[in-house]
Amino acid sequence: MKQKSNGLPKKTKYSKLDKFQLIKKTKRKSYIIKKLKALIEVNSLINSSLNKDIVLKNILDHTKAIMNCTKSSILLVEPESNELKFAVLTNEEEQKQLKDIRLKMGEGIAGTVWRQGTPLLIRDATKDRRFSAKADKKTEYRTTSIVAVPLVVNGKIIGVMEAINKLNLSPFNRFDMEIMQNLALQAAVAIENAKLYELAITDGLTRLFIHRYFQKRLEEEMNRSFRYGSDLSIVMADIDFFKRLNDNYGHLAGDEILIRTAELIKKNCRSSDIACRYGGEELSIILPEADLKGAVFFADKLRSIIEKMVVNFLERELRITISLGVASLKEDQPKSKADFISMADQALYHSKNSGRNKVTAFNAIK
């Protein structure tokens, strides 16, 4: 006699193997959902700033977290040399060590990705002939597994993004490469937007920030200093006898002097400093977290470096000097942004009127 059904579903019996596979599938599904959520979140995070350095750092921080890797890096194509340069790494010390390394098209894994325009998944770099150990030798690091993907904007490759060595020591897999490709799509757009913004706020000749940006950032830094009680100084600089130089050698010589002077200023600024072309041959530098003593030291260092500079122009050796004025927020206590700029300006013109090629602090002429 058949037993009547009570209408309830029959309990499914699972073997130990079935249960193990079910748990494994559930964990895999959870892992994929977690990665996809992270990808959605990263879009807003890496686009939260238009500052190129901040954008690059945000991209790498999130790449390292999402890819569960020990290191990540972004290499960008350098227009002047048409080579790949390490634009930013997750490790600041390695950033300094690798700043001079360049990769030609087709050189190393990154160079190969640049040449082919397609991503590469390398499970064991030590056995791959395309791998270049340039960076490892500099940093004393051992690369094993790599995922490298091209950064593409409007059909043009602008660089390569890499994830290196998974934390669990296993090699990267196809799913990792898919995640990396999605990250690269978002990263390329963010980098391009930051680049366009940078072009809009920098002077075409000197590549220093423009006057409008100086005004905006000075106001922001003053508000920050008032809020947290931190130091802030500004330096105003002017190239001595610039009009005479233009009259004697022409405006192309003047342009070359401005370019070389700006290069030296940028080279000697900290990453937090904001160097600007205030107007004509007058330059300005905002120094966050710098007191009067530090600002005067920095200004005199610039003066000394530029005094030694030689600019070769049409078989002539041109030399210049600069005069500088310094004002400090805490020392001079300006009532407004305009007052702060005026103080540094007055100090600058005191330098020019008392012999040039010198640094004057505003509190010294009160």
User: Which residue, 66, 67, 39, 44, is CA-closest to 55?
Assistant: 44
What per-residue confidence (pLDDT) applies to 79? 87
Strand, coil or helix: what is 172?
A: coil
Q: Which residue carries 């130990």 as its tokens?
A: 16
User: Which residue, 72, 75, 73, 46, is CA-closest to 159?
Assistant: 75
Report which of residues 247 and 59 the model is more confident about: 247
Q: Rounded mean pLDDT of 77-103? A: 86
Confidence of residue 352 (pLDDT cuts 50, 70, 90): very high
What per-residue confidence (pLDDT) applies to 324? 98
**In angstroms, what CA-CA distances link 332 with 257, 276, 348?**
32, 22, 15
Q: Provide the annotated active-site residues.
A: 281
Angle at 326 between CA 323 and CA 331, to 5 degrees: 160
Q: pLDDT tens for residues 151-160? A: 999 899 999 9
Contact 117, 110 (CB under 8 A): no
**Residue 270 neighbours by CB distance under 10 Å:** 11
Does the pLDDT at position 346 exceed 50?
Answer: yes
User: Which residue, 262, 256, 260, is CA-closest to 314?
Assistant: 256
What per-residue confidence (pLDDT) applies to 1? 47
Q: pLDDT tens for residues 161-214? A: 999 999 999 999 998 898 889 888 888 888 888 888 888 999 999 999 999 999
Which tokens sit at 187? 């990263």
Does the pLDDT at position 289 exceed 80?
Answer: yes
What per-residue confidence (pLDDT) applies to 27? 52
What per-residue confidence (pLDDT) applies to 44? 62
What per-residue confidence (pLDDT) applies to 28? 53
Contact 245, 252 (CB under 8 A): no
Q: How far apart are CA 179 and CA 108, in angstroms?
A: 22
Residues in the chain: 366
Domains of the chain, CATH where assigned: 18-197 (3.30.450.40), 211-364 (3.30.70.270)
Does the pLDDT at position 256 exceed 60?
Answer: yes
Average pLDDT, the chain: 87
Q: pLDDT tens for residues 3-58? A: 555 555 555 555 555 544 545 555 555 555 455 555 556 666 566 667 777 777 88
Identity of the highest mean pLDDT range in 1-5, 190-194, 282-286, 309-313 = 282-286
Q: Rounded mean pLDDT of 248-256? A: 93
Q: Rounded mean pLDDT of 97-104? A: 90
What per-residue confidence (pLDDT) applies to 46? 62
